Chains A and B, each alone.
Chain A
Amino acid sequence: MLKTFITSYKVRTTYRANSIIYALKNVPILKRIIPYNFYSDSGVKFLANFMSVTGEIASTFLTKILYLIIVAVISDTLMPENYMAYVHILVLFSIIGALINNKIINPSKDAKYCILYIKINPREYSLSNYIFFLIKSFVGMLVCGLIVGSFIKVPVYLTILLTIFNLFIKVALAYLDLTDLKKPKGSVNAIVNIVVSMILLAIAILLPAVLDLTMPIIIFYILFALSILLSVYSVHRIINYKDYLKLYKRTFIEMEELEVSLDDSNYNNIKVVKETKLEENVTSNKAGYAFFHDLFVKRHSKILTKAIKKQSIVILSVCVLTLLVVILFPQTHSFLNNITMKYLSYFVFLMYLLNRGTVLTQAMFVNCDHSLLTYRFYRKKDVILGVFKERLKTLVYLNLYPALIIAVTLPLILLLSGGTNNPLNYLVLFISIISMSIFFSVHNLVMYYLLQPYNINTEIKSGTYKIMQGITYLVCYYMVQIEVPTFVFGASLVVFNIIYIALALILAYTKAPKTFKIRE
C-alpha cells in the first residue's frame, strides 16, 4: 500500500510540477526565455517538485489555521471568554466537514492517470491517499488547534480530544462517499448532506447567538464515543467495498462529460458551460449570421437566457427587499442615502461580479467556435465580424436584465431615503449602472475575440488572457476604495466607458480577423 501511495504521490507531484512549468511557459515574456527541453531539466524538475510539496504543506497549515481562527473569532464574538462556544462550534463544524469535505473517491486528473493508465489498484490508491489526507488533516488540526486554543484558553486535553474527534468523525462518515456513488446519477445523498449541514450550521451559530447556550460537554463525549463506534463499522465497509474501479470509471465519465480540461479552479464554471441537453424543437426564421446565432442562443437557452433570468429574479428579490427596508425602517435612510451618493464605486465591482460575459464566451467556445474554427470559411473576416456583431447584441442584451433592475432600484433608494439636491444624480445613477453593464459585456467579448485563449482541447493556452482577466479583477476590486461623490464618479465613468467601448470595438473590428483562431 505504501508503494502504491508513493507511486501515486509521484504522479501527482509530477503533474503539478509540469503544470507549474507549463504555466510559466505561457507567460508572454518568460516563454521566449524558457528553453524547449525545460521539462526534462532535472534542476527545474527538482525546483518545481519542491514548490509543489512545500505548497501542499503550506496550504494544509494555512487553511487549518485560518479555519480555526475564524471559528475562534466567531465563538468569541458570540460568547466572549467562554471556550465552550469554541468547542461547540468546532464539534458541529467537524461533522459538517466530514459530510461535505471528505472524499475517498477523488476523480482528479492525476487519479485518472494512476488508475486508468498506470493501472494502480484503485482500492489501494483510494485508501492510501485517504489515509494521507487524514494524517495531513490530523497533524494540521493538532498543531494549529494547540496554537489557536492557547489564545482562547482551551484546555490542552480538550484540543487533543477535538482533534481526535475530527479524525474519527471523518472516518465514521467516509463510507457514505462510497454508497453515494453506487446509486444512479443525481443521488439524494448529496442533497441530504447539504440539508443536514445547514441544520448543523444553524445549531452551531444560533444556539450560542440567540439562546446563549452551548452543547453540554457530555454531549461532546457521547458524540466522541459514537464516532469511534461508527468508525469501526465504516472501516469495515470501506475495506470490503468491491466496486472501486467501477466507481472511478463512472466518476471519470462524469468528468469527461464536461469535455473540458481547464484547470481545476475553473472546473465549476465549466460545468455550466457545456450544454449537453440542447433544446431541439426550436427553429429560426432569420438568415445568415443572425440565423446561426439565433439557433445557438435558443438551443443553449439553459446556460444563456434561463441562467440570466434566474440571476435577475434573485437580484430583483434583493432589490425589492432593500426598498422595503428603506420604506419600513427610516433609521436606515442616512446610511443608504450615503451609499447611493458616495459609494457608486462599489457597484463597479458588483457589476463586474454579476456580468456573465466570461461564462458566456466560454460557452460560445465550447459549444460552437471550438468546432467551427477548424473551417476556413468561419475565419473569413466578414464571417468573424458578422457573428461578433450578433453576439455583441445578445451579450449586451442579456446582461441588461440584471443591470436594469439595479439601475432602477438605486435612484429609487436615493429618492426614498431622503433624496438629493441635484436631480441629475438620479440620472447619473441610472446611466452609470447601464454603462457599466455594457462596458463589461463589450470588454469580455472583445477580450475573447482578441486573445481567444483556448486550443482544440479547450485548454487555456494564452497567458495574456489570464493576465488580462487578473488585471480586470484587480482594477474593479480597487475601484471599491475610491470615495468620490456619485455625480463626479458616475459622469467620469460614463465618459470612460464610452471611449473604452469605442476603442475596444475598433480594435475588435481591425484585429479580430487575425487573432480569432484556435491556439496551438
Chain B
Amino acid sequence: MKLIIKDLHKKYEDNEVLKGINFEFKEGKIYGLLGRNGAGKTTLFNCINEDTEINNGEILLEDEETRKLKENELGYVVSTPNVPEFLTAKEFLKFFIEVNKEDIKDIKELDEYFDFMKINKADQNKLLKDYSHGMKNKVQMLVNIVSNPKVLLLDEPLTSLDVVMQEEMKDMLKSIKKDHIIIFSTHILELALDLCDEIVVLNKGVLEQIDKSDLKNEELKNRIIDALKEE
C-alpha cells in the first residue's frame, strides 16, 4: 500500500506554498516530516485531508487498485486538538463508533479502547471541556485510530504532551505502524530521528527524502539541517 502524491501545487493568492510535490509514502513506515516555520507542512496535510482546494496534482492511494482516498481511510490529528466540549470522552467515542460502525472492523468494547489509550475510568466520564490540552490530544488521537484508517497524518502531536504521555504515544504509534502509513510532522529533530523510519524535508515547496543509510546520527542531523537551511 502506498500514498502517492503527484505534482501537487497549492497557492494562496500569489503565494505558491507547494510547488509540485511528488512523493510516495509506503505502508509500515513512520515518516518524519520536517520543515521550517511556514514551510507548508500543515498546508500539505490540509491538502491530503481535502480541507483545502488544491490548484493542481493528485493524491492517490494504491493497494489493489490506485484511487482517491475514501473518507474513512484517512485520520488527521491536528496540532491544536479540537474536541466537542459538551461531550464526555466516552460519549464522543460512542457517537463516533455508532456513526462509523460500517467502516470499523471488529468493534471492541469502549473500555478496551480507553485502556489502549491509557485513559482512566474517571476521565472517561468527564466533559471534554475540562480536559487538559494533552488529554484532549489523546482523545483526538484515539478517535482517529479507532476506525483504523490506512493513512494517519499527525501534525506536531507530541509537542504538548508530558514526557510520560510522549513515551506512551510513541509506543502506541510503533505498535500500529505495521498496517499503516504514518506521516508525522514535527519541529523536534531528536524526536523525528528517534521515532521515524524515514525523514522527509519540506523546503521551498518541494519534498525531499533524506537518505539515512550509512550515516551516523550527528552526520544525519547536519545533513537535515543543511537541507532545511537551503535557500
* A376 B76 Cβ-Cβ under 8 A: yes
Partner of B72, one of A300, A377, A517: A377
A36-B15, A288-B95 known; A376 vs B86 contact (CB < 8 Å)? no
Interface size on B, residues (CB 8 A): 30
For A371, list chain B residues within 8 Å (CB).
82-85
A511: chain B residues within 8 A (beta carbon): none
Inter-chain contact B98/A291, CB cutoff 8 Å: yes
Instruction: Tell whether A278 pairs with B85 under 8 Å between CB atoms, given A288-B99, A517-B51.
Output: yes
Q: Pick from A36, A37, A300, A376: contact of B71, CB below 8 A.
A: A376
Task: Tell whether A367 pairs with B85 under 8 Å between CB atoms, given A278-B129, A377-B72, A379-B71.
Answer: yes
In residues 284-318 of chain A, which contact B (Cβ within 8 Å)? 287-289, 291-292, 295-296, 299-300
* A residues 199-218 in Cβ contact with B at 8 Å: none
Residues of chain B within 8 A of A383, CB atoms compared: 99
As a 0/1 sequence over residues 358 to 376 of chain A, the CB contacts with chain B under 8 angstroms (1 = contact) are 0000000001101110111
- Interface: B117 (CB within 8 A): no
Q: Are B82 and A374 in contact (CB under 8 A)?
A: yes
CB distance from B106 to the nearest CB of A (A): 18
Q: Which residue of A lies closest to B94 (CB)?
A: A291
Contacts of B99 in A (CB 8 A): 288-289, 292, 377, 380, 382-383, 386
Min distance, Cβ A285 to any Cβ of chain B, angstroms: 12
Flag if A377 contacts B71 (CB, 8 Å). Answer: yes
A372 touches B85 (CB 8 A): no
Residues of A within 8 A of B127 (CB): 278, 280
> Most chain-B Cβ atoms within 10 A of its Cβ — which of A36, A287, A292, A368?
A292
**Minimal beta-carbon separation of B126 from chain A (angstroms):** 9
Determine the distance from Cα of A98 to Cα of B95 in the docked complex, in whole angstroms. Answer: 53
Question: Which A residues are in CB contact (< 8 Å) with B49?
Answer: 376
A520 within 8 A of B: yes
A300 and B74 contact, CB distance less than 8 A: no
Q: Determine the chain A residues whose CB is within 8 A of the CB of B147 once the complex forms.
A: 377
A380 in complex: contacting residue of B71, B84, B87, CB < 8 Å:
B71
Interface residue? B13 (CB, 8 A): yes
Chain B residues near A517 (CB-CB < 8 A): 51
Q: Is B75 an interface residue (CB 8 A)?
A: yes
Given contacts A295-B91, A520-B52, 4 further A-B contacts (CB under 8 A): A371-B83, A372-B84, A377-B147, A380-B71
| Chain B interface residues (CB < 8 Å from chain A) | 13-15, 49, 51-52, 71-72, 74-76, 78, 82-87, 91, 94-96, 98-100, 127, 129, 143-144, 147
- 9 nearest CB pairs, A to B: A36-B13, A371-B82, A36-B14, A299-B86, A292-B95, A374-B82, A288-B98, A380-B71, A371-B84
